Structure 1
Amino acid sequence: MQIQQDFLRSWQELNQLAQKGELKPLRNRRFRAEAWSQDQSSLLSAHVWQLYADTLEKMAYAVTDSPQVQSRLAFAAMQWAEALSPANYLFTNPDALQTAVQTQGQSLIQGLQNFFHDAQRGRMQQTDESKFAVGENLAVTPGAVVYENELLQLIQYQPQQSSVYETPLFIVPPNINKYYILDLQQENSFVRYALEQGMQVYLISWRNPLPNDDDGILDATWGDYLEHGILQSMQVAQDISGAAKLNALGFCVGGTMLASALSLAKARGENSVQSMTLLTSMLDFHDVGIMRVFVDEASALLREWMLSGSKIMLASDLATTFSFLRPSELVWNYVTSNYLKGETPPAFDILYWNADSTNLGGAFYTWYFRNTYLENNLKVPGKVKVDNIPIDFSQLSLPTYMYASIDDHIVPWRTAYASTALLPGADRFVLGASGHIAGVINPPAQNRRHYWAYDTAETAVFPGMADDWLAAAPKHDGSWWGDWVQWLVSHAGKKKTAPKTLGNKNYPVIEDAPGRYVKVRAVA
């Protein structure tokens, strides 16, 4: 009742301000165009919508004490409110109407064409995709595929320095998206940066499974990805480089997979990794942030039943889910610009990569969802076994560098921080600005953003609560990449002359990077 009374009082105040012409522009960026401020009635509709959206959120948290139910109600309320925004509709959007008048209707014609093109491709275009092509202006760092199987291709990159560190860097990207988020363009390629610092780099390019694949990839299990994916590729990298050990890095789900694979190897008495880096990765899934609204037993059972037949989790389903986590930015914003105003979205390499999503085998997806998001089994020593060998993160004593992004909605930074309590070798945690992708892809040359990290002598100090760590952590300007390289060099061994050729007699070059696998597009 109090919320309702507050709504009515605020609604009356807004009407009075509108009658006096005293309404101020909203901070919401979808209403920042001058056309909204020039028309008090339109500005009033925007303010009333914002009031309505805020009220729905308050009610979602007032009707129950259950955090799980509160989250789901708030999520549903957000979706409803975002869909009703006056910015989404031509006759309630003064900016779109003004554009139509100024272009003599051409913006509406172009918007209609944009809509039909998106309908044909089965997804909304978020960037000008005509400006990018994998292997032409994305994923162009020189290298070669030196090994492949039904799960992956392994890329060895051409050294960028005459001398290199003897311990190679082995990278495990997520298999939920394609690897080239780490090798976009020359100026923002994480791979190229590592090469320029004198690292030898090997990287997994996961295969994108298709519905008609019949070679077993759709039935590949979590254990298959660890054994025949990560651990097998590590052996290849060691064979080619001649190195006794590798420095391993995992990004997002790739980090979860990497830590699991190394735990499996450790239990078998294998010790081929010198250090581990985890970028925006979860090992303890106790708090998965906004993703919790999709996590319950019923959802798991439904997916298990559906995927037992189709055997594939389509990229379109995953992409839609991730987009509606932030519908204002990733859905309705493009409805307004692409369709109502007839604009072509600007070229942005990260959004192109985001649209180039991947399918997942049903066996992998259902196991992963249940054992991580739903039951949080991986963090319990020995609860998960592969070929009857237990996964136990507490046995991983190798030095570990962990990075998280403070505004990450996919991997909440406090959840990433929880890995410090699971890994005995954890010796550095760094928190960067921005979100899941933009926080990671932050090259030093751009001198953007900032990060929090203790001085080197204090890196092993990890308070139990993540907020306690942040409260005392010094803030540094610029990119965290330099901090990571400084740490990595201490585990990279001596310098040696860079190899002049790629591959070796056991693993000859198969094809030039980026390889065939990364160019396979998902079926909508």
Structure 2
Amino acid sequence: MNEADKGDTTEASNPFLPSPEDIQHWASVMGRAQQMMLEYALGQANQGNSAAASLFDPASWLQNPTTQAWAEQSAQMWEQGARFWTSLATLQPFTPAAEASKDKRFADPDWTGNPVFAMIRQTYGMLSEQLLTTTRQMQGLDEAARAKLEFAAKNMAEALSPTNLALTNPEVIRRAVETRGESLLKGLKHMLSDLSRGQLSHVDPDAFEVGVNIATTPGKVIHETPLYQLIHYAPTTKEVFAVPLVIFPPWINRFYILDLNPAKSFVAWAVEQGLSVFMVSWKSADASMKDVTWDDYVAAQVDAIDTVRALLDVPAVHTIGYCVAGTTLAATLAMLSAKGEADKVKSVTFFTAQVDFERAGELKMFVDDSYLSLLQQLSAPGYLDGRYMAATFNSLRGRDLIWNYVVSNYLLGNDYPPFDLLYWNGDTTNLPATWHRQYLVDLYRDNRLVVPNSLSVCGTPIDLRKIEVPAYIQAGRDDHIAPLASVWRLMDNLSGPKTFLLAGSGHIAGVVNPPAAGKYQYWTGDNAASSLEAFEAGATETKGSWWPHWIGWIAGQDSKKIAAKGARIPGKGGKKAIEDAPGRYVKQR
């Protein structure tokens, strides 16, 4: 190498050193992006709020608190930007904020070690924080409008992350180079497959088959109506509790969340504890169910209870209602109480269920007139395609349930993980149009279930205060579907003896937590506490699964056991087997 060549090498040793033109250009880009986000945020507020409109009045612009807040945030952003460019120009490593370093999206070392990607990351962080901060500080908005605006801003910020684009994600670029483009081709295949299905896949759709390697606990379908099938599971103990258990899963999901595989199955575990277990499997709606209402689901729950009572010749059953099925079960119990038939139910267990929807969280944003109008259009065939509901729930955790899989499946071309829980999450159920709208309006929007005699089911006005059945109320600490504060309200609306249990984790993992896994924890405390805060203040933490605590509570209601024979064997009693579990309904799409 001659001296001239050495000089050229030195000249080109800092390829990422920005020129004055580069700095001017990026300042312009950041400024234009900042202005676009401001116009978007204010435009959203301006649609339904006159106070926000005053922001566009030049006479009040400088005096407006929102403008002042924006100016302060802008100054901070430019200060951070100047610090970043200074560190880059002097080839000093830029240290991101502590909270930014915890963001899993930017775990790849190039996001801090490579000046170009460090710049992209820092610019995104400043702009997204600017958008979110300004939204939070917007003046003149009621709480509902603010919640919607913050939700939209958060989702926009997550969607605009540079990790979601192939050309601005160093891991994607590196993978594409390493695989000579094969990763991108594989990702494209995944994407086109999802587009054809109309749904984002979290797992390989062909990795599981219901009844083969998922939902495999042995049993028989022993009863069937146009709305549900009733599964009776085979006993595994010589003796069983005299009082059987009837489980009502959410009608917006497949029942086998409680029977994923033998290691995770609540159903299999309950059978092993000596319970005679019956499971309701709801039919996925089609056009024939367009006129199905809440009355039909309440009547179905009563029918299941009466069917089991008659089959086993017992006066009462234990019941479990999970999520929205728990809400419906509360209405069922209120109706039975009003009719003097409360003694048909020995106990009720609520898995993450709500009856008072005042504090129901982000899902309340999906019950305004515009959303209900959209639902009406989407439900024109007489039912709502379950994929729309799945998209709604996924949007509540967009970073984890949408963009994480966009990057992994489409951009990186990773193989799908063989995860049964994610398979269940994508196995959507259609909803009857009339009933779905009724549920959103009467319960989520108008919160009528906790108003005595405001609602009637099957012709009977209901009052939750008449429910005196012993109740076990389970909530998840991190539940984003049925928030803890909302589930607690069951304690305020039921009149019988109540046991409250707070489980670690959320809406699914907080429930499906088998003892053998040794995961999470739960809290028990003063069931007479005047508030959730008082309960938590005096609660005792126990490591591991709460299921043993629950079965102890069940035994405390009635510990009598009988031989597991005769009608306790699926298909051997007055109800003959229709087909093997898990039945046809759970397989219908």
Range of TM-score over shorter length? over 0.9
Identical positions, percent: 35
Matched, 1:174 2:250: yes
| CA-CA distance at 1:297 after TM superposition | 3.8
Matches within 5 A, 1:270-289: 270=341, 271-289=343-361
Q: 1:431 — aligned with what?
A: 502
Q: 2:64 — aligned with what?
A: none
Matched, 1:21 2:93: yes
Q: 2:79 — aligned with what?
A: 9
Contact 2:500 2:524 in 1 (8 A): yes
Matches within 5 A, 1:463-502: 463-464=530-531, 466-500=532-566, 501-502=569-570
SS at match of 2:358: coil
After superposition, the Cα gap between the structure-2 partners of 1:306 and 1:139, relative to the gap in structure 1 and judged at 3 Å, is closer
Matched, 1:265 2:347: no
Gaps of 5+ in 1: none
Matched letter for residue 7 of structure 1 = M
TM-score when normalising by structure 1: 0.94
Contact 1:420 1:426 in 2 (8 A): no
Matched letter for residue 197 of structure 1 = Q
| CA-CA distance at 1:6 after TM superposition | 2.5
Q: 2:22 — aligned with what?
A: none
Contact 2:94 2:112 in 1 (8 A): no
Contact 2:309 2:316 in 1 (8 A): yes
Contact 1:165 1:494 in 2 (8 A): yes
| CA-CA distance at 1:251 after TM superposition | 0.3
CA distance in 1, matches of 2:444, 2:417: 35
CA distance in 1, matches of 2:365, 2:115: 37
After superposition, the Cα gap between the structure-2 partners of 1:315 and 1:437, relative to the gap in structure 1 and judged at 3 Å, is same
Matches within 5 A, 1:2-151: 2-19=72-89, 20-24=92-96, 26-64=101-139, 65-151=141-227
Contact 1:23 1:44 in 2 (8 A): no
SS at match of 1:275: strand
| CA-CA distance at 1:349 after TM superposition | 0.7
Matched letter for residue 420 of structure 1 = M
CA distance in 1, matches of 2:229, 2:323: 19
SS at match of 1:220: coil
CA distance in 2, matches of 1:342, 1:305: 35
Cα deviation 1:163-185 (Å, max 9, x = unaligned):
01100111000000010000110
Matched letter for residue 437 of structure 2 = T
Q: Which has the higher contact order (CA 8 A, sep 6+)?
A: 1
After superposition, the Cα gap between the structure-2 partners of 1:426 and 1:37, relative to the gap in structure 1 and judged at 3 Å, is farther
Matches within 5 A, 1:392-411: 392-411=463-482
Q: 1:254 — aligned with what?
A: 325
Matched, 1:461 2:528: yes
| CA-CA distance at 1:334 after TM superposition | 1.2
Cα deviation 1:125-156 (Å, max 9, x = unaligned):
11123221100011100110010001000011
Contact 2:477 2:505 in 1 (8 A): yes
| CA-CA distance at 1:306 after TM superposition | 5.9
SS at match of 2:489: helix
SS at match of 2:320: strand
CA distance in 2, matches of 1:14, 1:391: 63
Matched letter for residue 16 of structure 1 = T
| CA-CA distance at 1:508 after TM superposition | 1.3
| CA-CA distance at 1:298 after TM superposition | 4.1
SS at match of 1:131: coil
| CA-CA distance at 1:389 after TM superposition | 0.7
Matched letter for residue 95 of structure 1 = E
Contact 1:152 1:204 in 2 (8 A): yes
Cα deviation 1:246-267 (Å, max 9, x = unaligned):
0111000010011111111111
| CA-CA distance at 1:43 after TM superposition | 2.4
Q: 2:576 — aligned with what?
A: 508
Which is worse superposed, 197-206 or 76-85? Answer: 76-85
Contact 1:168 1:492 in 2 (8 A): no
After superposition, the Cα gap between the structure-2 partners of 1:426 and 1:416, relative to the gap in structure 1 and judged at 3 Å, is farther
CA distance in 2, matches of 1:192, 1:463: 36
Matched letter for residue 402 of structure 2 = V
Cα deviation 1:429-479 (Å, max 9, x = unaligned):
11111111111111110100111112xxx4x32222x22221221111111
Matched letter for residue 29 of structure 1 = K
Matched letter for residue 577 of structure 2 = V
CA distance in 1, matches of 2:112, 2:72: 31
Matched letter for residue 44 of structure 1 = M
Cα deviation 1:84-125 (Å, max 9, x = unaligned):
110011110001001111112111111111111111222121
SS at match of 2:290: helix
Q: 2:45 — aligned with what?
A: none
CA distance in 2, matches of 1:428, 1:201: 22
Matched letter for residue 423 of structure 1 = L
Cα deviation 1:1-24 (Å, max 9, x = unaligned):
222222222333333344411334
| CA-CA distance at 1:480 after TM superposition | 1.0
Matched letter for residue 508 of structure 1 = K
Choose from 280, 296, 315 the match for 1:224. 296
The alignment covers a number of residue pairs equal to: 510
| CA-CA distance at 1:304 after TM superposition | 4.6
Which is worse superposed, 504-513 or 189-198? Answer: 504-513
CA distance in 2, matches of 1:11, 1:388: 66
CA distance in 2, matches of 1:447, 1:389: 45
Cα deviation 1:336-376 (Å, max 9, x = unaligned):
11111111221111110010010000111011010111000
CA distance in 2, matches of 1:299, 1:176: 18
Matched letter for residue 2 of structure 1 = E
Contact 1:56 1:74 in 2 (8 A): no
Matched, 1:358 2:425: no
CA distance in 1, matches of 2:377, 2:385: 15
Contact 1:297 1:374 in 2 (8 A): no
Which is worse superposed, 369-378 or 330-339? Answer: 330-339
SS at match of 1:439: coil
| CA-CA distance at 1:45 after TM superposition | 1.6
| CA-CA distance at 1:330 after TM superposition | 1.0
After superposition, the Cα gap between the structure-2 partners of 1:5 and 1:295, relative to the gap in structure 1 and judged at 3 Å, is farther
Choose from 193, 199, 222 the match for 2:269. 193
Contact 1:147 1:155 in 2 (8 A): yes
SS at match of 2:350: strand
Choose from 234, 253, 271 the match for 2:305. 234
CA distance in 1, matches of 2:280, 2:551: 20
CA distance in 1, matches of 2:88, 2:268: 55
SS at match of 1:379: coil
Matches within 5 A, 1:268-417: 268-270=339-341, 271-304=343-376, 307=379, 309-417=380-488
Matched letter for residue 116 of structure 2 = S
CA distance in 2, matches of 1:219, 1:424: 33
TM-score when normalising by structure 2: 0.84
Which is worse superposed, 192-201 or 483-492? Answer: 483-492
SS at match of 1:171: strand
CA distance in 2, matches of 1:46, 1:332: 16
Root-mean-square deviation (CA, aligned residues, Å) is 1.6
Matched letter for residue 446 of structure 1 = A
Structure of higher CA gyration radius: 2
Contact 1:139 1:184 in 2 (8 A): yes
Contact 1:240 1:504 in 2 (8 A): no
After superposition, the Cα gap between the structure-2 partners of 1:12 and 1:289, relative to the gap in structure 1 and judged at 3 Å, is farther
CA distance in 2, matches of 1:141, 1:122: 31
